[in-house]
Structure 1
Amino acid sequence: MGHLDHATFGWLTPVLSYVMACLGAALGLRCTVRALGSTGRSRRNWLLTAASALGTGIWTMHFVAMLGFSVSGTDIRYDVPLTVLSLLVAVVVVSAGVFAVGYSRDRGRALLLGGLTTGLGVASMHYLGMAAVRLHGTVRYDPMLVALSVLIAVVAATAALWAALNIRSPVAVTLASLVMGAAVSSMHYTGMFAVSVHVTPSGSHLPGATAMQFIFPLAVGLGSYLFLTSAFVALSPTAGEREASASAQRPVAGAAR
């Protein structure tokens, strides 16, 4: 059995991955709230931004955490197409969940459907990402812990979407995103603790890219996207703020004449 280390760099990767999960959740919730307050094309664009933020936030959390993953007795490589596919799955499935909530007439049913879809999307992204791992040996999973990780993902996603539907104040959104980040992180590490590796030492070349060659640059790119989009969303006025500034300018225009 190879010894599995989930935090090769100490607390750096768990903390950084948690921050990425919270950032993605905060941006996703904020955009969903904005979407529900708008209509037409504007609503669709806000929902797309929310889905891409949640999807990339969850994916970045997973792979930043994976930078700290090592197994004694073998190198680790990542299958590039499968890793990219896991990112696409995350964004597409989360989009389905977010749009179900954004456009549904029946909030309760939308919440259950959206939570289930998004949660299963998060879980499938995680295990697709794990399927991309190449090492010398065989990987096994504890079925009970895998089932628990999927359950955590579904509950976390449902809670996050409920928060998006019911929460408006910035403080509450911040708290909800911290909870969502913790839930996504706990789902990830539950899934990781389900893993055991039977190493068969070999001198043969492993296919795929190392984490630093591929995962790290991609995570940095997606992280930058999240930070820049967060800044843009934080600075763009809400519908209420636009109305307030328009009504504030009317008397000034009248006085100027």
Structure 2
Amino acid sequence: MSHIDHFSHGAVIPVLSYAMSVIGSLLGLLLASRARVTEGAARVRWLIAAALAIGGTGIWVMHFIAMIGFSVPGTPIRYDVPLTIVSALVAVVIVGVGLLLAARGGERPLPLAGAGLVTGLGVAAMHYLGMAAIRMPADLHYAPVTVTASVAIAVVAATAALWFTLRVEGLVATTAAALIMGVAVCGMHYTGMFSLSATPWPSGTAESLGGAPALSFLLPLLIGISLVTLGLLLVVTLMPSQREIENEAALLASIERRRAGIVPAETPRSPSLFDSGGPVR
């Protein structure tokens, strides 16, 4: 067995991977909150965008940033490009399915649990597909108990994340939920990674590994997705909320009615500290 180093670049990679998981989760939760106040095709579009944020950035980007810190001393590591791309698609699609199931079932426990189970199993599948994309002159083995624990964490984390998408409102609460989701996703990843052991091939028996090195393939891709995510997060954060949009529309409608003489113009009165909550006399 060879020694496996999951933190070959120190604390920088785990911290960065956690930060991207939080950012992706935060963006996904903000997008899902928009979906709650829309109907039909608009709701589906918001949920698809949320799936791209949570599945693409919050999970997939987090996973492969963390993989940059994975090394087996003296052993080259490459990644199968098609399988890596498939793992990204799995993450996005399965999170999208979970969001749609949760949105349709509402806050009822059974539909939420079913959506969490489907999403959690999909997240675990994405993780182990990403691991299967590794190309190195060694045989990889997994400890079944630890693998089972990582899948259980994925299911619990996915269920909690879907519950957050149905309930959380406001930037402070959404940020807190995203921080919790980041811990859960990273916990699932590193639990799965600690189940791994490697047995190097005998010297001179390594065949052509194929694949692409992490720094030449993964790093540009991860940086590009991360920048797009940060831009979208900024845009969504600065966009007016649905309540603000509705209040503005109501105000404009009221102004138009007054101009048309439908109702007499009145000077709006701000509530004072002395109002009791009843009608103003």
TM-score (norm 2): 0.87
| 8 A Cα contact 2:107 2:163, kept in partner | no
Determine helix, strand or coil for the equivalent of 1:138: strand
| 8 A Cα contact 1:145 1:190, kept in partner | yes
Determine helix, strand or coil for the equivalent of 1:4: coil
More helix by share: 1
Q: Higher Cα Rg: structure 1 or 2? A: 2
Query: What's the offset of the Cα at 1:232?
Result: 2.0
How large is the Cα RMSD of the aligned pairs? 1.8
Q: Give the whole-Å Cα distance in 2 for the aligned partners of 1:19 and 1:116.
A: 25
Q: Does residue 3 in structure 1 map to residue 6 in structure 2?
A: no
Determine helix, strand or coil for the equivalent of 2:9: coil
Query: What's the offset of the Cα at 1:214?
Result: 0.7
Q: Give the whole-Å Cα distance in 1 for the aligned partners of 2:108 and 2:33.
A: 14
Taking a change above 3 Å as real, the CA distance of residues 188 and 231 of structure 1, as seen in their structure-2 partners, is same
Query: What's the offset of the Cα at 1:235?
Result: 2.1
| 8 A Cα contact 1:32 1:102, kept in partner | no
Please list every run of 5 or more consecutive structure 2 residues that lacks an aligned counterpart in the other structure.
Answer: 262-281
Query: What's the offset of the Cα at 1:256?
Result: 11
Question: Which amino acid in 2 is paired with 1:240?
Answer: R
Question: Which amino acid in 2 is paired with 1:55?
Answer: G
| 8 A Cα contact 1:35 1:43, kept in partner | yes
Q: Give the whole-Å Cα distance in 1 for the aligned partners of 2:228 and 2:108.
A: 30
Q: Which residue of 2 aligns with 1:246?
A: 249
Query: What's the offset of the Cα at 1:114?
Result: 1.2
Listed as ranges, the matches of 1:1-257 within 5 Å are 1-57=1-57, 58-104=59-105, 107-200=108-201, 201-202=203-204, 204-250=207-253, 254=258
How many residues are treated as equivalent by the alignment? Answer: 257
Question: Which amino acid in 2 is paired with 1:70?
Answer: S
| 8 A Cα contact 2:106 2:112, kept in partner | no
Q: Give the whole-Å Cα distance in 2 for the aligned partners of 1:65 and 1:158.
A: 23
Query: What's the offset of the Cα at 1:205?
Result: 3.4
TM-score (norm 1): 0.94
Please list every run of 5 or more consecutive structure 1 residues that lacks an aligned counterpart in the other structure.
Answer: none
Segment drifting more, 217-226 vs 207-216: 217-226
Q: Give the whole-Å Cα distance in 2 for the aligned partners of 1:102 and 1:228.
A: 26
